[in-house]
């Protein structure tokens, strides 16, 4: 069986909202049995998290040798949000998505997703402010598992529900061109009732994931097509404001 974990890492913050060391981050996930990992909100070389390559730290703690990171933002995020000139690619400090795997990777892909082209109002500190819709994207991998090829996509969609819906439809059209059974993992910022009509033909397992201490919603998902999910559980960890979603898969009977 294959165990897949998706986790919005919240750049490794502890439950108290403090930065964690590489050792603390590794300890937070140690003991989990995971074959494929999808991370969102993960730092690489960021001063706020001690310059740690968080995807590598978590992957090493889980014994996953094959790791890929995709940058959604570049530079020191404490000084502002700057999108890479080519989505997913950046030198130096960055923040974004990652996939790690126990099995070899045959191909990697990155894909920018559509966004709202104008500023939108948000409530911050009790005041309405105008903000740009962050450029979102997806990272995908084709894995060579013992049961054959498996396509895995990691995404973190817009906080704006209608935009997230457009992004998901766009993403699923691309995933349909990838080989083998497919998984779409990540913080999709959509509840199951909103997700279901957007993903016909996909299995959508249910478990509450947000907020971590007393979850009331499921916005973290593992969508499966061409492979069955035996069970799913929301995993409470000493890091992040999300619970991880751990899905156990088995090949669909021929």
Taking residues 37-62, report their average pLDDT.
98
Q: Tell me the backbone φ, ψ of residue 8, rounded to 5 degrees.
A: -80, 110
Query: Which CATH number characterizes residue 29's domain?
Result: 3.60.10.10
Q: Supply the mean pLDDT for the chain.
A: 94
Angstrom distance (rounded) from CA 181 to CA 251: 9
- Which pLDDT score, from 0 to 100, does residue 251 have? 63
CA distance 36 to 143: 9
pLDDT of residue 123: 67
Mean pLDDT of 4-18: 95
CB 5 within 8 A of CB 244: yes
Q: Which helix (H) or strand (E) holds 153?
A: strand 148-156
pLDDT tens-digit readout, 200-252: 999 999 999 999 999 999 999 999 999 999 999 999 999 999 999 999 998 65
Tell me the residue range of the domain where 226 lies: 2-251
Number of structural domains (the chain) is 1
92-135: pLDDT as tens digits:
999 999 999 999 999 999 999 998 876 777 766 777 777 777 89
Reported as type and span, the H/E element at residue 124 is strand 120-124
What is the per-residue pLDDT for 252? 54
- Asked whether residue 91 carries a pLDDT value surpassing 70, the answer given is yes
Reported pTM: 0.95
CA dist 100 and 37 (Å) reads 5
Other beta carbons less than 10 A from residue 15's beta carbon? 14
């Amino acid at each position: 069986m294959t165990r897949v974990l998706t986790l919005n890492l919240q750049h490794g913050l502890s439950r108290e909202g403090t930065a964690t060391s590489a050792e603390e981050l590794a300890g937070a996930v140690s003991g989990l049995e995971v074959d494929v990992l999808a991370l969102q909100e993960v730092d690489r070389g960021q001063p706020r998290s001690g310059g740690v390559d968080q995807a590598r730290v978590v992957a090493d703690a889980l014994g996953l040798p094959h790791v890929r990171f995709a940058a959604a933002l570049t530079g020191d995020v404490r000084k502002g949000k700057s999108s890479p000139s080519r989505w997913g690619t950046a030198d130096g400090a960055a923040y974004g998505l990652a996939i790690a795997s126990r099995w070899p990777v045959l191909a990697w892909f990155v894909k920018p997703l559509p966004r709202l082209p104008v500023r939108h109002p948000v409530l911050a500190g009790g005041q309405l402010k105008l903000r740009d819709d962050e450029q979102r994207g997806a990272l995908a991998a084709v894995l060579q598992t013992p049961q054959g090829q498996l396509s895995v996509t990691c995404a973190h969609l817009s906080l704006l529900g209608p935009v997230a819906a457009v992004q998901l439809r766009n993403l699923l059209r691309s995933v349909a061109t990838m080989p083998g059974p497919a998984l779409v993992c990540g913080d999709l910022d959509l509840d199951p009732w909103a997700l279901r009509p957007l993903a016909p033909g996909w299995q959508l397992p249910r478990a509450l994931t947000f907020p971590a201490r007393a979850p009331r919603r499921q916005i973290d998902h593992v969508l499966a097509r061409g492979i069955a999910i035996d069970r799913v559980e929301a995993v409470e960890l000493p890091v992040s404001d999300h619970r991880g979603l751990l899905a156990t898969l088995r090949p669909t009977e021929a």
